[in-house]
Amino acid sequence: MEISTRLLDTSNQGIDYAAKLLTQGEVVAIPTETVYGLAANALDENAVKKIFEAKGRPADNPLIVHIAEFEDIYKYAKIVPENAVKLANMFWCGPMTMVLPKADIIPSITSGGLDTVGIRMPSNPIARSIIKKCGFPLAAPSANLSGSPSPTNADHVARDMVNRIPAIVDGGDCSVGLESTVVSVDEYGKVCLLRPGYVTLDNLKKAVGEDNVTIAKGVMEELDSSEKALSPGMKYKHYSPKADVVIIKGEYSAFVDYVKQNCDNNTAVVIFGEEECVLPCRHFNLGMTAEEQATRLFAILRMADDIGIEKLYFRAPCTDGVGLAVYNRLLRAAGFEVTTLD
């Protein structure tokens, strides 16, 4: 069914209207500091069903539940280990999601049928005031069509969601630009990194101790079809533009030679920071620091599609700090296709 979509601003009226729609069980796209989210009442099965429909998302991929007050974690998680409290104290409000045993009040459709739930307290003031106005938690996956890159501005959302949802709140560009760090915390306090993000592996280790943190298989390498993903999102192809993405590892001079041999009119190259690209094909600069690269990656993937690029050659980014998250998203966009030059 086609729905007309209103673009709302972040005035009190805009926020009130968004909260009204959400209270009526509708779906509204809202800004967060990471990426835009496709929000609905996390406790209302019918409202959550509309999210899955609008995105075309597989039913077994669970949604993150967004709260505005730390204490609400006790309403939606059955067990909150001490290390979860430590992580929340350090990184909330902010770009980190914790997967914990779910309380019965969370409907099974929200948790994709799992007995755990991902909970996040975002820092974006617009997101927070909408959640507070609603008085219920918001289930919100990234506001893109399933499989395409996450939206980092309202225009990206509109392209995927116009005529599919009643409203989009335009809160400008997202400051982080990549989805939240997702960790599971088990009853013994062991923390497992399921999706890297702006809160880094080092940040997590400092918060709960190095020995308590592991990285899930599937974060940096492709899972075999027989392997069970610890996070259902890992098994789906993600963040993919229409263009074929290839990651190239190696010295810059070898990279330049390789691209010169392989590029044509339908190719673009993505480089970093100070690297001057003297190539006879289009190029984008992702930026110098990993933080900068995080804010630009998804916009560049979408832009490449807009101008009809068929093949995108990426220089492999450094994987330190936030770079691990950039590389993780890139690996998925590339379907794990990496070419190493010698």
By CB under 5 A, is residue 142 in contact with Mg ion?
Answer: yes
The pair phi, psi for residue 19, each rounded to 5°, is -65, -35
The option from Mg ion, ligand TXA, none interacting with 137 (CB < 5 to 8 A, set by class) reads: none
- Alpha carbon distance 91, 95 (integer Å): 7
- Alpha carbon distance 263, 282 (integer Å): 9
Sole binder of ligand TXA in the list 8, 27, 35, 131 (CB under 6 A):
35
By CB under 6 A, is residue 97 in contact with ligand TXA?
Answer: yes
The option from Mg ion, ligand TXA, none interacting with 120 (CB < 5 to 8 A, set by class) reads: ligand TXA
User: How many whole angstroms from its chain centre is CA 228?
Assistant: 21
- Alpha carbon distance 75, 103 (integer Å): 7
The option from ligand TXA, Mg ion, none interacting with 285 (CB < 5 to 8 A, set by class) reads: none
Map tokens 């996956």 to a residue.
Answer: 141
- Alpha carbon distance 331, 273 (integer Å): 20
- Tell the smallest beta-carbon distance from residue 68 to ligand TXA (Å): 13
Q: How far is CA 246 from CA 143, 270, 340, in A?
A: 25, 10, 11
By CB under 6 A, is residue 116 in contact with ligand TXA?
Answer: yes
**Cβ proximity to ligand TXA, 34 vs 148, nearer residue:** 34
By CB under 6 A, is residue 182 in contact with ligand TXA?
Answer: yes
Q: How far is CA 326 from CA 101, 134, 146, in A?
A: 29, 33, 19
Q: Which of 191, 163, 192, 198 is nearest to 32 (CA)?
A: 198
By CB under 5 A, is residue 97 in contact with Mg ion?
Answer: no
Residue nearest to ligand TXA (CB): 233
Sole binder of ligand TXA in the list 50, 120, 156, 296 (CB under 6 A):
120
What Rg value do the Cα atoms of the chain yield, rounded? 20
By CB under 6 A, is residue 140 in contact with ligand TXA?
Answer: yes
Task: Look at strands 267-271 and 191-195 and give their pairing.
Answer: unpaired
x/- mask, ligand TXA, residues 151-180, rule CB under 6 A, reads ----------------------------xx
- Alpha carbon distance 181, 205 (integer Å): 13
By CB under 6 A, is residue 62 in contact with ligand TXA?
Answer: yes
Contacting range for ligand TXA; rule: CB under 6 A; set: 30-38, 213-221, 265-273, 317-325: 30-38
- Alpha carbon distance 101, 90 (integer Å): 21
- Tell the smallest beta-carbon distance from residue 190 to Mg ion (Å): 25
By CB under 6 A, is residue 34 in contact with ligand TXA?
Answer: yes
* Residues near Mg ion (CB under 5 A): 142
Binding site for ligand TXA (CB under 6 A): 32, 34-35, 37, 61-64, 97, 99, 111, 114, 116-118, 120, 140-142, 179-180, 182, 194, 231-233
